[in-house]
Amino acid sequence: MDNKIKILPQNLYNKIAAGEVVGRPEAVVKELIENSIDAGANEITVLIKDAGKVLIQVIDNGSGMSEEDAIVAFQRHSTSKISTYEDLENIQTLGFRGEALASIAAIAQVELKTKTVSDDVGTVVKIEGNEVIEVSKDSLETGTSIAVKNIFYNTPGRRNFLKSNQTEFRHIYDTFIRQAVSNPNIAFKFFNNEELIFNLRKTVLSERLKELFGEEFANTLIPITVEHSVVKLNGLVSKPGFTKKSKQDQFFYLNKRFFTNKSLNFAVYSGYDDLIEKGDYPSFFLFIEIDPKKVDVNVHPSKLEVKFEDESAMFGFVRKAIKETLRASNITFDIGFSNTMSFENTPDNLEHKKPDVNFTPKGFNSGFNSGFSNSPSTPGTSSIHSIFEASRRDDLDSGNDNASGIPLNSEEGIQKNIFEHKKDEDEKFNLWQYQNKYIMCETATGLMIIDQHAAHERVLYEKALLRLNSQSAFSQQLLLPIKVKLTKIDYQLAKGLQEEIHNLGFALKFINEEVVEITGIPADVKPGKEEKILQELIDQYKEYEISLNLEKRDNLAKSFSCRSAIKAGERLQHQEMFNLIDSLFASQMPYVCPHGRPTVIRLTTEELDKRFSRS
C-alpha cells in the first residue's frame, strides 16, 4: 500500500502559505513598505497599476542587498531581521517572520533591483513562481526596487477572489496611509496608474496629518504625550466636539506597527466620557511604545493583532491618558478659515507651526478671572477694542433701560453696585449678547463666542452630577427583595464589586453560588427593572473593567441640565453673562456641553487680520 502522507513540494507549500501572508495586493504593499522601512530608507515610492493587480512597485533608498542576499531573500524563513530566539522576544523591526518575499514570489512575477552603498553595481533578480529566472548586474542607485507583477497569475482561483479595483485600491490606500502616518520622517510618493496621489515630504506627525487629511481636520486634533515607567503614549486625538460618526480615522501603533484592538479603541472612547455624544467616535493617531517583551506581535502573519501582557492595565493606561489630556488641555474651538486660505508650507517653517491649541493666554485654564485680568490687550487689538467698548456701552444702556427701568443717567451708579469688588477686572473685558443666544466676549487675543445654553448646561451638569454622586450612598430599601439569578462567574464578580455596588446605592445579599437578592436600590434613580440594572453593571465591568457608574444617573444629570439651562432667546444682563462665563471656566471641562457639543468658539485677532489682509 502506498503511503498517503507526503511532504509537500516547496513551491506548492509556498503557494499555500502565501494565502496567509498575501491575501490581497494590499498585503504586498504593506510587506514591501515595511521592508523598505526596516532597510532604513527615508524616501519610498509606491507605484500601483490596476489596484495592484497588474503592478505593485516599491522603490526605496535604503541599505540595499548584495547579490547573494538578493537571491536568498526569496527563500522561506530567510530574514535579516532576527537570527536567534532572543531576537524574536525583542523585535524592533516591522518584519521578522521571513515569509513575505517567499510568499510574494510564489504567486507573482517579481523583479528585484538592489544595490548597497559599498557595491559599485547593483543586482537584478527575476523570479516567477519561486523559480529564479534571471540574475544580472546593472548600474543602479543605492536602495531596493521590487516590482511585483500579475499577482496570483499562477493561482487563478485566488485571482478570481480579488474584489473590484475600487475595493482593492481602497485597501492599498489605507495601508499606505497607515505607513505614512507612522513614518513622517520618511518621504513618500504614491502613484496610482501613473497619477501622483501623494507626495509627502519628510516632516513631523502633525504636518504629515495635514498633508494626508487636510489642514482643517488636522487642526481639530490635540497632541497627547503621556509617559509611564514601561509604556509611552503619544500622538494626536480629536478635540471633543469634532468627533465623527464613523470609526474610520482611528490609528493605533505599537512600536510603530499599526494594529487594531477593540478594547483599546474603547479605552480611548471611554476616555472622552461625557465629552462625546453617543454614536460619535473620536479620531486618533496614537503611538504606544512599550518594551517589546511585554507584547506579542506574532499572533498572525499579517501582524494586525497584538497581545499585551497585561491587557487591562493597557486599557486603564490609555483611558486615563486620554481623559487627563482632554481635561488638561485648552480645547476651545477656533473658527478656522483654513479651507479658504492657502499657505505655502515649507518643511522648515512647518516645524514651528505645531497645531495651534495653546495660543490662549497662560493662566486661562486656571479660571476666567485671572486669565483675563492678567492679560493686557496687545497693541494690535486696540482699535478693535475701542469698537467693542462702544458697542458694549450701547448694549448695556439698552439692557438696563429695558429690564430694570432705571434711568440711563444712573448707569455709573448701577455699575458700581453690581460689580463692587469686581469692578477692576470687569473693566478689562467686554461682554455682550448676540441675538439673545450667544455671548460675545473680548479676550486679549481675540473674540470668544459662547453658546449660552450649552455653557449653562455644562455648569448645571457638573453640579447635578456632583450632587447625585454625593447622594448616591442613600439606598431606598425594598420591601420585597428581588432575587436575581446570575452565572457563577458573575456572582463572584458581583461579590468582588460589593463595595462599589453598595456605594452606588444598591443593597445586595449574597444567597448562594448564583443567587443574589437586591434589598435596596439607589434612592434617586428608580430603575425599572432592578435585576436588569445589576446585570448591566456587571456586564459593563466585565467588558471594560472600568469603574462602575450608573448610566441612568448620568443621563438624569444630562436631562436635568438640558431642561434647566437657559435657552436661546433669553435675554441676559451683563452680570448674568459674567457669572455664567465665570462658572463655566470654573467647571472641569468648560469647552463642551454634556452632549459633546462645543460651548466656546474663538475667533483670533490673527485670524481676523488675515481675513482683512492685514499683516
Partner 1 sequence: MKFSISAEKFFNAVNKLSYVVPGSSHTTLPILSNIYFKLDSNKLRMVSTDLEAFITTDLNVEGTEDGGVAVPARKLLELLKAMIIKNESVSVTEKYSSDSYGLLNAEGLVPELNLYSIKYDNAKGTLVYRGSIPEETFEGLKEEFRLFKENKGTIAAEDLKTALDDLEKAVTALGKSAVDTFKKTTEKLKIKFESNDKNKITVNSKNGKYQFFGEPLDDYPLPQDKTELSRIEISGNRFKRFIQKVKHSVKNDEIRRNMAGVFIDLRKNELRFVATDGFRLSKIITSEFSHTNSKDENFILPIKTVDLIPKIVTDSSLVMEFDNMMIKFTIDNFNVYSKLIDDTFPNYESVIPKDNDKKLLVNRYDLLSALRRASIFTDKVTMKVKFEVIGGELTIKSDNPEIGGEGEETINCDFKTNSGDEISDAFSIAFNVSYLVECLSQIDTDEVIFTFSAPAKASILLPVASMNEENFMELIMPVRVG
- Which residues of this protein are in contact with partner 1, per CB under 8 A? 463, 467-468, 470-471, 473-480, 507, 520, 523-524, 528-529, 556
Q: What are phi and psi of 497, to 5 degrees?
A: -95, 10
Tell me the closest approach of the beta carbon of residue 456 to partner 1, in angstroms. 16
3-class secondary structure, 593: coil
Residue 602 in grid coordinates: 474663538
User: Which of 437, 463 has the CB closer to partner 1?
Assistant: 463
User: Which of 386, 477 has the CB closer to partner 1?
Assistant: 477
CA distances (Å), 295 to each of 254, 396, 400, 508, in order?
A: 9, 63, 66, 39
CA distances (Å), 542 to each of 458, 537, 545, 576, 596, in order?
A: 30, 9, 6, 46, 26
Question: How many residues would you count in the chain?
Answer: 615
User: Which of 417, 564 has the CB closer to partner 1?
Assistant: 564
Tell me the closest approach of the beta carbon of residue 478 to partner 1, in angstroms. 5
Nearby residues of 534 by Cβ (< 8 Å), 6 or more positions away: 484, 494, 501, 506, 508, 516, 518
Residue 434 in grid coordinates: 448676540
CA 273 to chain CA centroid, nearest Å: 14
Tell me the closest approach of the beta carbon of residue 470 to partner 1, in angstroms. 6
User: Which of 487, 579 has the CB closer to partner 1?
Assistant: 579
Which helix (H) or strand (E) segment holds residue 489: the answer is helix 488-496
User: Which of 276, 460 has the CB closer to partner 1?
Assistant: 460
Q: Are 452 and 570 in contact (CB under 8 A)?
A: yes
User: Which of 463, 597 has the CB closer to partner 1?
Assistant: 463
User: Which of 200, 508 has the CB closer to partner 1?
Assistant: 508
Tell me the closest approach of the beta carbon of residue 572 to partner 1, in angstroms. 22
CA 365 to chain CA centroid, nearest Å: 23
User: Which of 210, 553 has the CB closer to partner 1?
Assistant: 553
User: Which of 7, 479 has the CB closer to partner 1?
Assistant: 479
Q: What would the DSSP string read from start to end of 554-608? A: HHHHHHHHHHHSPPTT----HHHHHHHHHHHHHSS-TTB-TTS-BSEEEEEHHHH
User: Which of 136, 477 has the CB closer to partner 1?
Assistant: 477
- In one-letter notation, the amino acid at residue 5 is I
Query: What radius of gyration do the chain's Cα atoms show?
Result: 31
Q: Which residues pair with 284 in a beta bridge?
A: 237, 250
Q: Are 270 and 316 in contact (CB under 8 A)?
A: no
Q: What would the DSSP string read from start to end of 435-475? A: TTTEEEEEETTEEEEEEHHHHHHHHHHHHHHHHHHHTTT-E
3-class secondary structure, 422: helix
Q: Are 148 and 104 in contact (CB under 8 A)?
A: yes
Which helix (H) or strand (E) segment holds residue 180: the answer is helix 165-182
Q: Are 249 and 237 in contact (CB under 8 A)?
A: no
Strands 250-254 and 231-238: unpaired
Tell me the closest approach of the beta carbon of residue 278 to partner 1, in angstroms. 23
Using the 8-state DSSP alphabet, how is residue 52 labeled? Answer: G
Tell me the closest approach of the beta carbon of residue 500 to partner 1, in angstroms. 15
Tell me the closest approach of the beta carbon of residue 37 to partner 1, in angstroms. 58
Tell me the closest approach of the beta carbon of residue 525 to partner 1, in angstroms. 8
User: Which of 534, 600 has the CB closer to partner 1?
Assistant: 534
Tell me the closest approach of the beta carbon of residue 579 to partner 1, in angstroms. 17
Which helix (H) or strand (E) segment holds residue 55: the answer is strand 55-60
Tell me the closest approach of the beta carbon of residue 327 to partner 1, in angstroms. 24
Nearby residues of 573 by Cβ (< 8 Å), 6 or more positions away: 399, 403
Tell me the closest approach of the beta carbon of residue 576 to partner 1, in angstroms. 19
User: Which of 444, 460 has the CB closer to partner 1?
Assistant: 460
- In the numeric block, the cell 514570489 is attached to 105
User: Which of 184, 522 has the CB closer to partner 1?
Assistant: 522
Q: Cα–Cα distance between 43 and 612 in angstroms, integer?
A: 40
Tell me the closest approach of the beta carbon of residue 535 to partner 1, in angstroms. 15
CA 394 to chain CA centroid, nearest Å: 45
Nearby residues of 390 by Cβ (< 8 Å), 6 or more positions away: none
3-class secondary structure, 423: helix
CA atoms within 13 A on the CB side of 144: 26
User: Which of 494, 525 has the CB closer to partner 1?
Assistant: 525
Using the 8-state DSSP alphabet, how is residue 220 labeled? Answer: T
Tell me the closest approach of the beta carbon of residue 435 to partner 1, in angstroms. 31
Tell me the closest approach of the beta carbon of residue 368 to partner 1, in angstroms. 23
